[in-house]
Amino acid sequence: MKPTIPTIQARKRIALVAHDNKKNDLLEWARYNRETLSRHHLFGTGTTGRLLEKELDLPLTRFKSGPIGGDQQIGAKIAEGEIDFLIFFWDPLEPQPHDPDIKALLRLAVLYNIPTASNRATADFIISSPLMAREYEHKTPDLERYNAGRQKMLGEKS
């Protein structure tokens, strides 16, 4: 199977996530970018999603809180091709009890080649890109080919 090239529509599906010490930063960023965000379908985890809904007065699909499965829910939506962007203001200075879930989420974002911002500067560059307002041919990896090559390599080493 060749890599698929699905089209990311002009109306993006954006996941917004923030750790506790970064929630205010994300809220401020979202408030500043409300008009642009209003043109897209928004997703959020737990408290962050609730705060964004209230702050922006925009519809938002909410998942569980990150520590109780929300990060994994977003990761699943990325793997299913149902989320196009991840804006995740994570806290590099505070240990998280669900760190394996966070790493899995970030791994899936990279694996499925979706734009990901972990801080305000990157989020600013992504949201101000001309690509935000139009369709985009999004190349995704050929995971079947990758797995076949990996199995062959492991088989040869046995």
* Residues labelled catalytic: 71
Tell me if 52 sits within 8 A of 33, measured CB to CB.
no
Question: Rounded to 5 degrees, what are φ and ψ at 150?
Answer: -65, -45
Burial class (CB in 10 A: 0-12, 13-18, 19+), 115: buried
